[in-house]
Amino acid sequence: MNKNLSLEAWRLFWVLVAGIIAGLMTSRLWPTIVLALLAYCIWQMNQLFRLDRWIQQGLKRSQTPNAGGLLENIISNIYRLKTSRKRGKKQLALLLGQYRASAEALPDATVILTSTGEIQWFNEAAEILLRLQTPRDLGQRIDNLLRDPKFRKFLRATKRQQELRLTSPLDNEVILSCRLINYGQDKLLLTVRDVSIREQLNRVRREFVSNASHELRTPLTVIRGYLEMMSADNGGEDELRDKIHILLEQTAQMENIINEMLTLSRLESSTLEASEGEALSVAQILRQLVSDAVRSGKAESDQITVTVDDSLCLIGIRAEIMSLCNNLLYNALQHNPAQTPIELQWFRSGSDAPCLAVNDDGEGIEQQHLSRLTERFYRVDSSRSRESGGTGLGLAIVKHIVQRHGGHIDISSTPTVGSSFTCCFATSRAVECVGDEV
């Protein structure tokens, strides 16, 4: 028992002793004891009132009730709680200060919003990039300041889009990359980065590749023309005919590379709206590809199995989806031994996304190559791929097409067992076929 509590116990004891002595002296023992206890209770009540008044007046040290005993104990506990709360508050303020300072120092514009888009706080970078001003814009809706329908849609979307690129509504020379993160119970964190320079460099690279490819195409067509003429003129000389044949093959390979580079830069330089395209029967496209491959002798008649959902159609760009299917099927044929079993699947995944899978029981690919297969010109075995007429751009094209259609590609493979290339598109692109799609 601490000092104050034992003092209180002694106090009660002496009240009782005084009551008993007075009771014995007046020959009214019980009424006197009751009277003494009543007096003690009234005194304690008075102490509690003083304590209550002191608390209400803000726990001022100068007005601390001076009582000793139980009350003293309560007061010292209150002081201890107060000091530890003060210390906690101080630490919290320090942490908040540090957090704000680091958010201020961020090079990206950072804005804290309510769930309905009202601005609660922003850093210095936001003042520069988004031209926000304190206190003028605090409490304003961000989409009233950044007036762009794409941004409004991005803000209101229930499913968070990873990133939104848009031309700044405040300066059309500036390209912004916006990210929105839900946090806390009903808060949004908006970060905006100026990506104009990166976009500009990308544009310059795309334009260079596209222009260079165009420029190479014309002389190559002339070279091929002359080679074809020489091949037709040269009736007898075997050695020369063989050389012309090799030159023609190499020219065709260069033309393929140039055409695929042009396809890639076309895919990169435009974007697809979420619902752009026509309803395509991927099942029919796959069947057509298989029959073409068999007819041209690239596949055996029973080599490819087609497992498709005929009622599932895809909203997409026909030429792109055909190129995607074509690339995956010809890869499975080209990069595996003859007669390797191949399966083409078209189905709805567990999350309802429309998916195309090309599986083969071929040689498979070592794990360390898988993440790099969709890079331009990346080949597992360069000489073999070139020999088989590969450009090294097929999977890069496939990746861009599937991304333009709101999806992603997954590659899995086990050496000696086989490979699986699965492209899943945006769920919103799946539609029921009505019967007249081709």
Residue 391 contacts residue 365 (beta carbons within 8 Å): no
**Of the candidates 306, 380, 403, 431, which one interacts with ligand ADP according to CB under 6 A?**
380
Structure tokens at 408: 């992603």
Which of 365, 402, 426, 433 is the binder for ligand ADP (CB under 6 A)? 365
362 touching ligand ADP, by CB under 6 A: yes
Among 391, 401, 405, 424, binds ligand ADP (CB under 6 A): 391
Longest C-alpha distance within the chain, in Å?
Answer: 152
Q: Provide the minimum distance between the beta carbon of 322 and ligand ADP in the complex, in angstroms, as a whole number.
A: 15
Closest to ligand ADP by CB, 110 or 265: 265
Sheet of 187-194, strands arranged across: 119-122, 109-114, 187-194, 175-183, 164-167
Q: Name the token pair of 403.
A: 């991304």
Show the tokens assigned to 117.
Answer: 């888009």
Q: How far is the CB of 213 from ligand ADP (least distance, A)?
A: 16
String of contacts with ligand ADP for each residue 392-431, x by CB under 6 A? xxxxx----------------------x------------
Which residue type, as a one-letter code, is found at position 420? S
Of 419 and 422, nearer to ligand ADP (C-beta) is: 419
What residues contact residue 151 under an 8 Å CB cut-off, 6+ apart? 143, 164, 166, 169, 178
Which of 123, 265, 281, 385 is the binder for ligand ADP (CB under 6 A)?
385
Of the candidate residues 164, 286, 335, 353, the single one contacting ligand ADP (CB under 6 A):
335
List Cα–Cα distances, 109 to 179, 190, 370, in angstroms.
10, 8, 36
Number of residues that bind ligand ADP (CB under 6 A): 22
CB of 209: closest distance to ligand ADP in angstroms? 16
277 near ligand ADP, rule: CB under 6 A: no
Contact partners, residue 324, CB within 8 Å, separation at least 6: 356, 397, 398, 401, 402, 423
Residues that bind ligand ADP (CB under 6 A): 327, 331-332, 335-336, 360, 362, 365, 373, 378-381, 385, 390-396, 419
